[in-house]
Structure 1
Amino acid sequence: MQFGIQMVFQNFDRANSGVTDGQVYDEEIRLGLLAEELGFDALWPVEHHFEDYSFCPDNTQFLSYMAARTKRIKLGTGAVILPWNVPVRIAEKVVLLDHLCQGRTLFGMGRGLARKEYAGMGVNMDEARQRFDEASPMIIDALETGFIEGSGPFYPQKRTEIRPNPRGSFKERIYQVAMSPESVLQCAKAGARMVIFAQKPWEAQAEAVKEYKAAYKTQHGEDAPPIMICDFTYCDTDPARAKELGQKYVTNYLLSVLDHYELAGEHLKNAKGYESYAQAVDAIRALGKDGMARTYLDVTAWGTPKEIVDKFEYRKSLLGEFDINPCFLFGGMSYEKAAESMRSFARHVIPALRKSSKRKVA
């Protein structure tokens, strides 16, 4: 079982907190260095643009900096949003990063959901699925062969050599966010590791994971690798404090998600390629923010170390083995609280889960 940390670069309630964007980056860097010190396995900075919700416009650039500041920890893109980037440039940046960190790169890719970001990037959101499906095999092939080419309508690319050449195979290092039925099947076809977020009941998530595993077996003739789960986590040994602050910060984060992605917005009902999200619009409206908060708190891993371990063990009973990618700094939490939460997680949760895992640490 592998343990990463998700890095979201959120400036929650900037108007009242007085936190600058520079401070956000300083604290994420400190947390990344602490993660290596505490024995975490990987850093996973996101790609987001333009808003307080999250702003890391180039996670390969950020990881290039972290490559020079770290020695052991793996460096993952969580994720590069393919429709907002050009395939040849993605391949070049990822290969370069892999040289700079001496083979510690993990490549994660996603499709994106926020229409605000699509508008800012000048990309038609209705083209997102087609762009992703065209770009992803081009990039995966380039990372493996050192050459990129494509004949699709969005990214016509004559056969071109990637320089520097790939340092080594990426076959076991490709990840894909897969939160819709179409993405699940595409992820399996690509031979990527499935990445999901804690956001709906785990019994429902288990069905999607089962479909991924079956499709992967059909496509590749072998068992799928373990999936990775992204969580928003607050860990505290004091039960009262764990409950109070866990509920506060996890709920804050959910509210920022609802606002940024406009998940109750009418536009999702007409967005091509986002049909599974469109089907949830009316349910989200019916639940309201309070109902959504209760649901979200139920499915995320926060609380005392024992409560968190129990939540992960329950997931494992449904999903099988998986990797864990919690975010520790979000929702207006101070760096000091996030660092202490991370220390508590490393001290109590990781050893307990590794002891019960059947997998060996890579």
Structure 2
Amino acid sequence: MHVGLGLSFQSFEDELSDAQVWANAVRSSELAIELGFDGVWATEHHFTSYDITPDPLQFLTYIAALDPNIQVGTMASILTWHDPVRVAEQISVLDVLSGGRLILGIGRGLGKTEFEGLRIPMDESRERFIETTELVLDALETGVLKYDGKHFKQPERLLKPAPTGTFRNRTYAAAMSPDSFELMAELGVGLLLIAFKSWDETAKDLVRYREAFAKFNNGAEAPGPLVSVLVTCDDDSERAEKTAKKYMGNYYRSVIDHYGLNKPQNFSNVKGYEHYDATSKELGDEGDEGVDSAVTEFLETHVWGTPEDCRKKIEAIREKTGCGRLLVTFASGGVPMEEVERSMRLFASEVMPGLKTLDTSAVSVG
């Protein structure tokens, strides 16, 4: 199993300067290389301290140069927000410079403030995502940029530099709403699962995804998903629980606030976001009590405890999802850097060796 470090560039409640956030991300990446993690992964977000990563491909180019073996990945590049020609070129440049070590995670975006700031109509996001994804993935596969769509009409040009090889088995798309699972199957990409609901619910979504994948891809078997979780690993189980509840709780409250998941007006009548409209209305109606309950449920989907606790929770997630790659994030919701390092070191020495020996092809689910 690939075990990658998922980075958080959050300055929770603006406690850190932007420069310090990035210094911590670089330090965490260097430590991941030292400890034997397989990859370093970065998100894409704009304009706020929720997550300060406007250009993950540029950041990962720097990380790829630190070590000749470390893989790098996006979790995810929001293709909806980009000119497809330029982002295809940026992806290909990083792939060439890293010698084919890039794993591409893509998404269509959810943050209203980001859509507005980037001047992209949010209710066009699904259409734009499909067109951009088709154009980019086809160009990465064929070396030719060409498309005739509603939003993008691209005259035929060569993609230079050409990527090192196919992205067919190294492209994943973030999916949370039920409709997104079928869309990603139709696009022929793997799934990047970011833990925001119970793994039992996700397992049901995966059954539909695998059925749709076979339908749209000539009976081909869907790849195992890439799973992203928050982790707190500690020799003391009580301290681990206290740390997780505080900082993972902080993080999920910041998620609710950033995306306005308890503000129905953010998604009301926005095409393509009907799932979030229903969720936001429910959370909005329930008030603080609903948010508290959502935070409690969120904590149950993530990984915290002693090394043995962490191992068991990850194995349970693997059994429900069949994941072949795992991304673990230690910095979230204001966790002090010294705690991040301590948790990473313990996880790397006591949990990660066993995960790397797992035969992911042997997992059968759904």
TM norm structure 2? 0.94
TM superposition shift of 1:308: 1.7
Summarize deviations over 1:72-125 as a string: whole Å, max 9, x none.
111111111111101101110000001111110111110110101111101110
Tell me which of 121, 124, 147 is aligned to 2:121.
124
Aligned to 1:186: 183
Pick from 29, 39, 42: which aligns with 1:42? 39
The superposition leaves residues 25-73 of structure 1 with CA deviations (integer Å, 9 ceiling, x where unpaired) of 0110111121122121111100000101001111111111112112211
RMSD: 1.5
**Post-superposition offset of 1:283:** 2.8
TM-superposition CA deviations, 1:243-262 (whole Å, max 9, x none): 11111110010111011000
* TM-aligned CA deviation for residue 193 of structure 1: 1.2
Task: Give deviations 1:309-340, integer Å, cap 9, x for gaps.
Answer: 22222223322344211111121112111111
Matched residue type, 2:145 = I
Amino acid of the residue matched to residue 90 of structure 1?
V
Q: Runs of 5+ in structure 2 lacking a partner?
A: none
Residues 133-152 of structure 1: matches in 2 within 5 Å? Answer: 133-152=130-149
Give runs of aligned pairs for residues 344-359 of structure 1, distance below 5 A.
Answer: 344-359=346-361
- Helix, strand or coil: the match of 2:80? helix
Q: Distance in 2 between matches of 1:321 and 1:170?
A: 18
- Structure 2 contact 140–166 (Cα < 8 Å) conserved: yes
Counterpart Cα distance in 1 of 2:135 and 2:76: 17
Residue 11 (structure 1) aligned with residue 25 (structure 2): no
Shift in CA distance, 173/320, structure 1 to aligned 2, threshold 3 Å = closer
The 2-side partners of 1:203 and 1:213 are apart by 16
1:251: which partner in 2? 249
Q: Is the 8 A contact 1:213 1:224 kept in 2?
A: yes
Q: What one-letter code is carried by the residue in structure 2 that aligns with 1:318?
A: K
Q: Secondary structure at the match of 2:105?
A: strand
The match for 2:277 is: 278
Q: Is the 8 A contact 1:196 1:229 kept in 2?
A: yes
Range moving further from structure 2, 46-55 or 34-43:
34-43
Partner of 2:319: 317
How far apart are the structure 1 equivalents of 2:8 and 2:296?
A: 22
Q: Quick check: 114-123 or 302-311, which moved more?
A: 302-311
Q: CA deviation at 1:222?
A: 2.1
CA–CA separation in structure 1 for the residues paired with 2:355 and 2:97 = 32
- Tell me the residue number matched to 1:301: 303
In the other structure, the counterpart of 2:222 is: 224
Paired with 2:102 and 2:356, the residues of 1 have a C-alpha distance of 23
> Partner of 2:211 in structure 1?
214
1:44-63 paired onto structure 2 within 5 Å: 44-63=41-60
> Which deviates the most, 135-144 or 301-310?
301-310
2:141 maps to a residue whose letter is E
Give the secondary structure class of the aligned counterpart of 2:331: coil
Please name the residue that 1:203 is paired with: 200
Structure 2 CA distance for aligned equivalents of residues 315 and 242 of structure 1: 19
Per the alignment, in what secondary structure is the counterpart of residue 52 of structure 2?
strand
Rate the CA distance shift 1:358–1:62 in 2: closer, same or farther, 3 A. Answer: closer
Partner in structure 1 of residue 167 of structure 2: 170
Counterpart CA distance in 1 for 2:208 and 2:30 is 37
Q: Distance in 1 between matches of 2:242 and 2:127?
A: 44
- 3-state SS in 1 of match to 2:270: coil
In the alignment, structure 1 segments of 5+ residues that lack a partner are: none
Determine helix, strand or coil for the equivalent of 1:56: coil
Taking the aligned partners of 1:99 and 1:318, their CA distance within structure 2 comes to 35
Match of 1:86 among 79, 83, 87: 83
Distance 1:110 1:79 in 2: 6
Q: Secondary structure at the match of 1:302?
A: strand
Aligned twin of 1:263: 261
Q: C-alpha distance in 2, partners of 1:39/1:118?
A: 37
Q: Secondary structure at the match of 2:46?
A: strand
Distance 1:320 1:77, change over 3 A: closer
Per the alignment, in what secondary structure is the counterpart of residue 159 of structure 1? strand
Determine if contact 2:33/2:70 at 8 Å carries over to the other structure.
Answer: yes
Supply the distance in 2 between the matched residues of 1:92 and 1:124 (Cα, whole angstroms).
24
Query: Which AA in structure 2 matches 1:280?
Result: T
Q: Secondary structure at the match of 2:216?
A: helix
Q: Structure 2: which amino acid aligns with 1:172?
A: N
Equivalent position of 1:242 in the other structure: 240
- Per mean C-alpha deviation after superposition, the further-off stretch among 244-253 and 348-357 is 348-357
Aligned length: 357
Quote how far apart the aligned CAs of 1:358 are: 4.3
Deviates more, 1:235-244 or 1:312-321: 312-321
Alignment check: 8 A CA contact 1:33 1:70 kept: no
Aligned position for 1:97: 94
Q: What is the alpha-carbon distance in structure 1 between the residues aligned to residue 211 and residue 48 of structure 2?
A: 38
For 1:251, the aligned partner's letter is: G
Q: Provide the rounded CA distance (Å) in 1 between the counterparts of 2:97 and 2:330.
A: 26
